[in-house]
Structure 1
């Protein structure tokens, strides 16, 4: 009897163990699907995807079969490749840099929202290739994913999530025209929330507030025409119903914003919006020996790190020579990421590298200034280690990113197209020598950024797992179920206005009736009085 009981107990524990193994296996089979976006956006998506993968989940990237992307096979991540109608030489971003960012007319950069049209057109074609590929879509369904991760600056992720019936998590810095705020039904008063690419701070003058308001109205039209409209057509065709991209974006479970109120301006947020700015700013490593020796040779002056991000390794030769000449006039040693043609005015104090360990350099005690284009990843690395910046923004949100840093006292900003060697050298020297201003402000931002109960990456991973476990419907405001006029309160305002008009009309009518009655009574009394007086006189 005792033997039977022991045997039964052993079987029970074995069953529990098998059940646990099955549970873990099911988790790995489900996992997360990632729809990638190129450039620095992919760097953030990849970092979060790897962090989720390290938690034991299977992470699969829907990988386009084109050779000119940063997106590619990544150890630790699986992939499902789908064909796209592009040739490797057809690099839209290089064309964008050459024909838009570095093209000038009378010294003014020709950059508008229309400049993004070619990039979004390619994104739409790629999206169509994936959604229309029956075999790939069927394979994606067999994974039984639990969640989809994407950067909504490419709206295809929202369409793919709906097509596969998956909850979506969006990791983003922002979308042109504040589309993310509109999709999340997040209030964004134009009186203190600057429109994207406006360059305004949260302390706007009356004229700037007026401009900000009208800029928002204009951007709504441009975004609908140049971003959302082409994806609306894709969504209707592949989902088989009348739906808009904005509606699909609004279905997001969680919005992971790559920002922090240390670097951004305070503004309203929603319960399903989480700040994870700095999630790629991991631990710094020691520099390679040759680079460490170069840095140490700078003495008390220190070093200046120059980088224009992961995509802009080469800049026009004229601008590169101006930068090289300016860098040659400062006492600091310089480490510059540059892959363009040979620069004639390069000085002995400058070390040019095709790639550099940016995070490790910014963490070094001898780094004095970071010359940057103003990408959000680089800015957060500089904030993480308290390094003041000199901004030379090129396009997109880089202008407003650097405007915020300048407003917070941690940076200076120059126009790269009107740049001269003297102003570059003077600006670097100003930042490096006025430590009581720029360095102290940068150090303050760094302390504020680090003083939080949870690291940004840990927070991002937590919310991915939270959505896998529970979803996040309880964090979505009821505004998602209201019409635009109900959300704005126009129906209530119309009712109150009608009520006021009605009450006013009734009161006016009553007062009129009373006045007329009083007038008639007075007239009647006067007539009676006259008749009585006439009668007495007659008698």
Structure 2
């Protein structure tokens, strides 16, 4: 186990004494002879600024997710570091994206036998692509669900082992407690950060789109499934009767996965280290703030809660100049412009026939193409296509010559496309990607081609040509871009404000509803309904018995009268 410490800092508010002292020293230094002490003065000013930032900074523990989730978490970390906060990041010794050394944070490395990285994700992606490209049937649907169930179970099992390793290391836990963190910022798509925040008794904030139980809103906000589509259902917020039946089926699938496969693993960790009275579902719902990585330009309108803060597009920013070789390439596209294609961090290779189909379609276009692709060069690749291992996606999407973004539908890429007003041709692979693209499709800003239909009747080429040649796609995306940008503060500044708000006030209990503390039968008023039914049953039974008694007495009177006659 290796634990790296960061420099000790003060609480997240500046000491008035320090401020006055710095100003006094600064004013006295200003009386020095400039020519003689210029260099010393500049060094002194730099030291004052650094000390001032250290005096104003807090201590933040980050427990992130890997892959694309880390990419956006790293943006928040850099912004927090720039504001003078001290940041520690929990990672594994088999980390995929999180570097051990960084000027913005220090790492706490946890040794694990298996981790969420390319070795884990690549076999899953291959299986999912194979199932998606197969014949659509009930069997293929069940196969896909089983594969996702297995992947989720294995992933959360690894995270629970990681949490157990941390809690069993007394030296690590004592060091973490000694740091006296002001805040834990975590991605609840896995539960290690949730458990660690409880162990340290520290306020907790989520950088969230999905929690371990499913889409984030489902864990905290009222979510009528009559018009809120469940992830994987491929539905919008306007459903027919049959679609609502389908939506309920997907809701049951997600709940079953959470109740029987995921939650028990985390609850076992709670039972072992915190006691059975601490429930994992309560810890999950008990975060002070949920920084939700969407906004309602992208997401369908729905009920929400006061401690849910929408920061969709916080990673977006105006584009910077491209590297020379990329700028030369896009300028060579002339009036036709260029197309950008990326399938994100999880998909590093595709079946050879599918890759050649895509390459052949690109070769028929007058536009230049920049394609993020790390595997073997496709045989059908045209001279207009440039393959790259990495690309500055934000800068390319913000370039005036970009015409189209071919995307798998990841949240980061979609938000950047919205920010820059670039229409999308979607090629979803798995999980929430189809649902993300569908939200843009119903707004007229994207077209979708599934993996099963890419190589059928030139579908891929036709879809690209439709988006390129129909101006409504670009117009609709630019309309969404204007809506997204029209905010009083930027999403990143909004996120930073609320993070520091929780640090200043040691939580945000006044924003948290008590619903997560209520048992399910109280939350849904089942006990109240049953009490009403019981009271109605008692009254009804009393009336019936009274009626029977009265009837019996009446019959006796009639019988006695007849007998007397």
Does TM, normalized by the shorter one, top 0.5?
yes
**2:542 equivalent to 1:498:** no
Q: Which moved more, 1:128-137 or 1:50-59?
A: 128-137
SS of equivalent residue, structure 2 residue 103: coil
Instruction: Tell me the equivalent position of 1:4.
Output: none
CA distance in 1, matches of 2:326, 2:93: 36
Alignment counterpart, residue 41 of structure 1, candidates 47, 69, 84: 69
Instruction: Tell me the equivalent position of 2:104.
Output: 76
Deviations 1:49-106 (A, max 9, x none): 2211211111111122225444543321122222222499982122322344456684
Instruction: Tell me the equivalent position of 1:487.
Output: 523
Instruction: Tell me the equivalent position of 1:59.
Output: 87
Alpha carbons 1:319, 1:417 under 8 Å: kept: no
CA distance in 1, matches of 2:288, 2:428: 33
Alpha carbons 2:70, 2:97 under 8 Å: kept: no
CA gap of 1:90–1:201, structure 2 versus 1, over 3 A, is closer
Q: Normalising by the residue count of structure 2, what TM-score does the alignment of the two structures yield? A: 0.84
Instruction: Tell me the equivalent position of 1:292.
Output: 327
Shift of 1:41: 0.8
Q: Which moved more, 1:374-383 or 1:169-178?
A: 169-178
Instruction: Tell me the equivalent position of 2:294.
Output: 259
Alpha carbons 2:92, 2:115 under 8 Å: kept: no
CA-atom RMSD in angstroms = 3.0
CA distance in 2, matches of 1:43, 1:371: 20
Deviations 1:194-238 (A, max 9, x none): 112211111111111122123212321112333222222122223
Shift of 1:503: 3.5
Alignment counterpart, residue 123 of structure 1, candidates 159, 168, 171: 159
Q: Normalising by the residue count of structure 1, what TM-score does the alignment of the two structures yield? A: 0.88
CA distance in 2, matches of 1:298, 1:334: 9
Shift of 1:139: 1.7
Alignment counterpart, residue 358 of structure 1, candidates 393, 396, 402: 393
Instruction: Tell me the equivalent position of 2:432.
Output: 397
CA distance in 2, matches of 1:429, 1:165: 55
Q: Which moved more, 1:284-293 or 1:70-79?
A: 70-79
Alignment counterpart, residue 459 of structure 1, candidates 486, 490, 494: 494
CA distance in 2, matches of 1:19, 1:366: 50
Q: Which runs of 5+ in 2 are unaligned?
A: 1-15, 25-47
**2:250 equivalent to 1:215:** yes
CA distance in 2, matches of 1:388, 1:273: 29
Structure 1 segment 299-314 matched on structure 2, within 5 A = 299-314=334-349
Alpha carbons 2:209, 2:216 under 8 Å: kept: no
Instruction: Tell me the equivalent position of 1:111.
Output: 144
Deviations 1:498-535 (A, max 9, x none): 233333344555666677788889x699989x98xxxx
CA distance in 1, matches of 2:126, 2:320: 35
SS of equivalent residue, structure 1 residue 111: helix
Alpha carbons 2:232, 2:250 under 8 Å: kept: no
CA distance in 1, matches of 2:18, 2:459: 74
Structure 1 segment 216-295 matched on structure 2, within 5 A = 216-295=251-330
Instruction: Tell me the equivalent position of 2:370.
Output: 335
Q: Which moved more, 1:303-312 or 1:116-125?
A: 116-125
CA gap of 1:176–1:240, structure 2 versus 1, over 3 A, is closer
CA distance in 2, matches of 1:497, 1:64: 54
SS of equivalent residue, structure 2 residue 73: helix
Q: How many residues align?
A: 515
CA distance in 2, matches of 1:253, 1:102: 41
Alpha carbons 1:258, 1:277 under 8 Å: kept: yes
Alpha carbons 2:132, 2:451 under 8 Å: kept: no
Shift of 1:376: 0.1
Shift of 1:27: 5.1
Structure 1 segment 190-201 matched on structure 2, within 5 A = 190-201=225-236
CA gap of 1:67–1:489, structure 2 versus 1, over 3 A, is closer
**2:202 equivalent to 1:166:** yes
CA distance in 1, matches of 2:293, 2:95: 27
CA distance in 2, matches of 1:89, 1:46: 17
SS of equivalent residue, structure 2 residue 341: strand
Deviations 1:463-494 (A, max 9, x none): 11111111111111121332110110111111
